[in-house]
Chains A and B, each alone.
Chain A
Amino acid sequence: MNWDWAVVEDFMPRFWDGVLVTLQALAIGTLIAFALGLVWALAQRSSQIWVRWPVTAITEFIRNTPLLVQLFFLFYVVPNFGPSMSPLTTGIVGLGLHYSTYTAEVYRAGIGGVPIGQWEAATALSLSKGRTWRAVILPQAIRRVVPPLGNYVVAMLKDSPMIATIGAFDMLGEAQAFSNETFTTEALTVVGVAFIVIAYPASLLIRALERRLVR
Chain B
Amino acid sequence: MMSSEFFTTWFLPGIWVTIQVTVYAAALGAAIAFGIGLARTSRFWIVRFVAGIYFEIFRGMSALVLMFWMFFALPLFGWQLVPMWAGVSALGLTYGAYGSEIVRGSLAAVAPAQREAGIALNFTRWQRLRLIELPQAWPEMVPPFNNLLIELLKGTALVSVITVADMTFAGNLLRLGTNETTPVYSLLLVLYFVLAFLITRGMRLVERRAKAGIGQTPEETGFITRKLSARGESVQAGSQSAGGMG
Instruction: List the interface of chain A (C-beta within 8 A of B).
Output: 1-2, 61, 64-70, 72-73, 76-77, 80, 154, 157-162, 164-165, 171-172, 175-176, 179, 185, 188-189, 191-192, 195-196, 198-200, 203
A188-B175 Cα distance, complex, nearest whole Å: 28
Contacts A159-B62, A179-B72, A192-B69; is A69 near B157 (CB within 8 Å)?
Answer: yes
A175-B172 Cα distance, complex, nearest whole Å: 22
Which chain B residues border A65 with CB–CB below 8 Å?
A: 154, 189, 192-193, 196
Which chain A residues border B161 with CB–CB below 8 Å?
A: 68, 165
A162-B157 Cα distance, complex, nearest whole Å: 11
**Are B192 and A66 in contact (CB-based, < 8 A)?**
yes
Chain B: CB-nearest residue to A80: B182
The smallest C-beta distance from A74 to any residue of chain B, in angstroms, reads: 9
Which chain B residues border A72 with CB–CB below 8 Å?
A: 168, 171-172, 175, 185, 188
Instruction: List the interface of chain B (C-beta within 8 A of A).
Output: 56-57, 59-66, 68-69, 72-73, 76-78, 150, 153-158, 160-161, 168, 171-172, 175, 181-182, 185-186, 188-189, 192-193, 196-197
**Are A73 and B185 in contact (CB-based, < 8 A)?**
yes
**Are A61 and B193 in contact (CB-based, < 8 A)?**
yes
**Are A162 and B189 in contact (CB-based, < 8 A)?**
no
Which chain B residues border A160 with CB–CB below 8 Å?
A: 62
Contacts A66-B155, A66-B157; is A161 near B65 (CB within 8 Å)?
Answer: yes
Which chain B residues border A80 with CB–CB below 8 Å?
A: 181-182
Which chain B residues border A158 with CB–CB below 8 Å?
A: 60-63
A188-B155 Cα distance, complex, nearest whole Å: 20
A1-B63 Cα distance, complex, nearest whole Å: 23
The smallest C-beta distance from A47 to any residue of chain B, in angstroms, reads: 28
A196-B175 Cα distance, complex, nearest whole Å: 34
The 7 closest A-B pairs by CB, nearest first: A199-B60, A185-B73, A66-B157, A66-B154, A64-B196, A76-B181, A196-B60
A212-B153 Cα distance, complex, nearest whole Å: 35
Q: Is the interface of B mostly helix, strand, loop or mixed?
A: helix
Show 22 residue pairs from A and B whose CB-CB distance is below 8 angstroms, ordered by the A residue: A2-B76, A61-B193, A64-B150, A64-B192, A64-B193, A69-B171, A69-B192, A73-B186, A80-B182, A158-B62, A158-B63, A161-B65, A165-B161, A172-B68, A185-B69, A185-B73, A188-B69, A188-B73, A195-B61, A195-B65, A200-B56, A203-B60
Chain B: CB-nearest residue to A185: B73
**Are A185 and B188 in contact (CB-based, < 8 A)?**
no
Which chain A residues border B65 with CB–CB below 8 Å?
A: 161, 171-172, 188, 191-192, 195
**Are A77 and B186 in contact (CB-based, < 8 A)?**
yes
Which chain B residues border A171 with CB–CB below 8 Å?
A: 65
Which chain B residues border A61 with CB–CB below 8 Å?
A: 189, 193
Given contacts A64-B150, A192-B69, 6 further A-B contacts (CB under 8 A): A64-B193, A64-B196, A70-B189, A159-B64, A188-B68, A199-B60
The 8 Å CB contact of B57, one of A68, A189, A196, is A196
Chain B: CB-nearest residue to A159: B62
The smallest C-beta distance from B175 to any residue of chain A, in angstroms, reads: 6
Chain A: CB-nearest residue to B168: A69
Contacts A1-B77, A161-B64, A195-B61; is A66 near B69 (CB within 8 Å)?
Answer: no
**Are A68 and B185 in contact (CB-based, < 8 A)?**
no
**Are A69 and B188 in contact (CB-based, < 8 A)?**
yes
**Are A196 and B154 in contact (CB-based, < 8 A)?**
no
**Are A176 and B189 in contact (CB-based, < 8 A)?**
no
**Are A162 and B64 in contact (CB-based, < 8 A)?**
yes
